[in-house]
Amino acid sequence: MKLKQTYKELPSIFYADVALNKVASPHVVLWNEALANELQLPAFWREQADYFAGNDMPEGAAQIAQAYAGHQFGHFTMLGDGRALLIGEVETERGLVDVQLKGAGRTPFSRGGDGRAALGPMLREFIISEAMHALGIPTTRSLAVTLTGELVQRESLLEGAVLTRTASSHLRVGTFQYARQLADYEHVKVLADYAIMRHDADLAEQRDKYVQFLQRVIERQAKLLAQWQCIGFVHGVMNTDNMTISGETIDYGPCAFLDTYDLGAVFSSIDRQGRYAFGNQPKMAGWNLARLAESILPLFADNEEQATEAAQAALNDFPVLFNVYWLEGMREKLGLFTAREDDRELVQQLLLAMQQHKADYTETFRALAEGDYPDNELFESDAFFDWEMKWQQRLLQEDSSYAEAQQLMQRANPIVIPRNERVNEAIRAAEAGDFAPVEELLHVLSTPYTLEEQYAHYAKGPEDDRPFVTYCGT
Ligand SMILES: Nc1ncnc2c1ncn2[C@@H]1O[C@H](COP(=O)(O)OP(=O)(O)OP(=O)(O)O)[C@@H](O)[C@H]1O
Ligand SMILES: [Mg+2]
C-alpha cells in the first residue's frame, strides 16, 4: 500500500513541509485493529512504532502541516497545524482517508508551542472519538496512541504521546477563512474544488456547485449538531478551526457528555462566558457556517448582491434543518415512528422537567426505553407524572406496538456513554502504566446500545465497585 498525496497538489500556501522530529523510543500502547482492517493497512504497520511517532515514514508518505485560520472564542487568528503532521491519504471504498499524527513535534505553525501532546489527552481523544463512532456519530477516528519515550512540560512533566488520527479530510471552516484572508479568488476556488473532490464529487460538473457545496456542508453540520444534542455531547471548543467541512466531529479537547441535563453545561475551564455551553451549540455552529459562507462568497456569483442572497438563503436553512433532524432524533428516543404536530412540545416538556429536577440525561432516556423507572426526584415528580400520561397517550396514536416502540427506543438511547469520571480513571491507570482499564473501557463503549451479556453488570450504577467502566441505567 502506498499513501496518496492529493492535498500536496494544492498551491503551497496551503501547507508547510516539515522535517521529521525524531523521538527517543517510540512504543505503540493502543492500537485500533478494527480501523486498521477497515483501512486495509498492511499488517506490518502494527509493528512500526517509528511510523506512528514520526521517526520514519511509510511508502509514499510526506510530512506536511496544514495551514488554516480560525475564530477562537470569536477572535480571528491565523493558525495551522502546530503539532500535527498529515502524512498522506489512504484510498478506501468510502474515498480518501487522511492519516495524521497529532503531537508529532514542532511545525512552522507552532507559534510558542512545543508541538507535542501528553499521553492523557491523546488517550482521551482516542476513547471519546471511538465511542462517538460506536454511537453512530460522524467523527475523526483513532488508529493508535504511541508513547514517544520523552517527557513534555505542562503544569508538571508528563509522558509524551502521538495520536494517529484518521479523517475523511482535515479541511476545516478555518481552512477557507485562511484562503480568503491570505489569498485571492483563485486560491479560494482551488480549495473549494479540492473540498468538492473530497466530499461532494457529484457536484463537480454542476453550474452552481459552490452554493450547493455550502448547502451540503450546512446539511452535514445540521445533522451532526442534532446528533450531538440528542446524545448530550458538549464539544467545548467549537472554534471555526475545530469545525470540519466533512461533518465529522473533530478535536476532543475539553469535551464531555452531559450527566445531569443542563442547557448551560460547560466543561471547558476557559469558556467563562458559556459561549460553547450545551444549549448554545446549534447557534454557534450557525455562526461558524456564516464564516464559511463569507469566505467562499466570491465564488457564488459575479454580482455581490446575488452572491449574498444565495449565501443568506443557505444559512437560513441551517436552523430549519437542525430542528428537523433534532426532532426526528428525539422522536426516536421516545419510541415515536410518526410525526405529530405537538411532538416538539412533548419533548420540551420532558426536557424542562429534567432540567428542573436535575435528572441524568442518558439514564432518564434509558429508563424510559426499559420501562423501568428509578426512584429519583424526576420520576417521583408531578411534572413527570403529567408528562408520562401525555406520552402514553401519544404512543397509543402510533400504528406500531409498544414492543416496537421499545425496540426503537433501545436503538436510540445508549446504555453506556463515556462518562468523564470513568474516562479519567482509566486514563490515570494508563498514566501509571496499566492500559487494561482503557482497553476494557473501549470494549464496553464499542457496543453502547446492546451491551454484551458479560458487561450487563456495568449498567448498575456509581456505587458499583468496577471503577473503570462508564455506567448508566437503573
Ligand atoms: N503543544 C502545541 N504546540 C504547538 N501548537 C499547538 C500545541 N497545542 C495546540 N497547538 C495549536 O494551537 C491551535 C489550537 O489548538 P487546538 O487545541 O484547537 O487544536 P489541536 O487539539 O492541537 O488539534 P486539532 O484541532 O487538529 O484536533 C492549533 O493550531 C494547534 O495546532
Ligand atoms: Mg483544534
From the list 80, 74, 261, 59, the residue with the least C-alpha distance to 172 is: 80
Q: In the structure, what pLDDT confidence band is assigned to residue 451 with cuts at 50, 70 and 90?
A: confident
| 172 known member of a binding site | yes
Q: What share of the chain in percent tops pLDDT 70? A: 95
Across the range 327-348, mean pLDDT stands at 98
Q: What is the pLDDT of residue 1?
A: 83
Q: What is the pLDDT of residue 186?
A: 96
Q: Which 3-state string (H, E, C) describes the chain?
A: CCCECCHHHCCHHHEEECCCCCCCCCEEEEECHHHHHHCCCCHHHHHCHHHHHCCCCCCCCCCEEECCEEEECCEEEECCCCCEEEEEEEEECCEEEEEEEECECCCCCCCCCCCECEHHHHHHHHHHHHHHHHCCCCECEEEEEEEEEEEEECCCEEEEEEEEEEECCCCEHHHHHHHHHHCCHHHHHHHHHHHHHHHCHHHCCCCCHHHHHHHHHHHHHHHHHHHHHHHCEECCCCCHHHCECCCCECCCCCCEECCECCCCCCCCCCCCCCCCCHHHHHHHHHHHHHHHHHHHHHHCCCCHHHHHHHHHHHHHHHHHHHHHHHHHHHHHHCCCCCCCCCHHHHHHHHHHHHHHCCCEHHHHHHHHHHCCCCCCCCCCCHHHHHHHHHHHHHHHCCCCCHHHHHHHHHHHCCCCCCCHHHHHHHHHHHHCCCCHHHHHHHHHHCCCCCCCHHHHHHHCCCCCCCCCCCCCCC
> CB within 5 A of ion ligand 2: which residues?
242, 251
| Marked catalytic residue, from 98, 241, 262, 271 | 241
Q: Which ligand is nearest to the CA of 254?
A: 1
pLDDT tens digits for 225-237? Answer: 999 999 999 999 9
pLDDT at 463 exceeding the cut of 80 = no
| 102 known member of a binding site | yes
> 109 CA to middle of ligand 1, Å?
9
pLDDT tens digits for 422-444? Answer: 999 999 999 999 999 999 999 99
**Residue having the nearest C-alpha atom to atom 26 of ligand 1:** 251
Q: Which ligand is nearest to the CA of 68?
A: 1
pTM: 0.96
Length of the chain: 474
pLDDT tens digits for 71-98? Answer: 999 999 999 999 999 999 999 999 999 9
* Index of the ligand 1 atom closest to the CA of residue 117: 1
- Sequence spans of domains, the chain: 7-167, 173-323, 334-412, 414-474
| 82 known member of a binding site | yes
Ligand 1: residue of 76, 79, 83 to mutate (most ligand atoms within 8 A of CB) is 83
> 166 CA to middle of ligand 1, Å?
16
pLDDT tens digits for 102-153? Answer: 999 999 999 999 999 999 999 999 999 999 999 999 999 999 999 999 999 9
Across the range 328-335, mean pLDDT stands at 98
pLDDT at 460 exceeding the cut of 90 = no
Give the whole-angstrom CA distance, residue 89 versus residue 61. 9
Q: What is the pLDDT of residue 471?
A: 42
Q: What is the mean pLDDT of the chain?
A: 94
Across the range 352-372, mean pLDDT stands at 95
Give the whole-angstrom CA distance, residue 338 versus residue 321. 18
Q: What is the pLDDT of residue 352?
A: 98
Across the range 197-223, mean pLDDT stands at 98
Checking phi first, is residue 103 left (phi over 0); if not, alpha (psi -120 to 50) or beta?
left
> 470 CA to middle of ligand 1, Å?
28
**Residue having the nearest C-alpha atom to atom 21 of ligand 1:** 251
Q: What is the pLDDT of residue 195?
A: 99
Q: What is the pLDDT of residue 455?
A: 64
Q: In the structure, what pLDDT confidence band is assigned to residue 459 with cuts at 50, 70 and 90?
A: low
| 251 known member of a binding site | yes
pLDDT tens digits for 159-195? Answer: 999 999 999 999 999 999 999 999 899 999 999 999 9
CB-CB contact of 82 with 69 (8 Å): no
Q: Which ligand is nearest to the CA of 79?
A: 1
> 354 CA to middle of ligand 2, Å?
32
> 68 CA to middle of ligand 1, Å?
11
CB-CB contact of 195 with 68 (8 Å): no
Give the C-alpha distances (Å, rounded to integers) separating 77 from 68, 70, 114: 9, 5, 19
Q: What is the pLDDT of residue 467?
A: 33
Q: Does 56 qualify as catalytic in the annotation?
A: no
| 242 known member of a binding site | yes
Q: In the structure, what pLDDT confidence band is assigned to residue 453 with cuts at 50, 70 and 90?
A: low
pLDDT at 408 exceeding the cut of 60 = yes
- Ligand 1, CB cutoff 6 Å, lining residues: 79-84, 110, 113-116, 241-242, 250-251, 253
Q: What is the pLDDT of residue 457?
A: 52
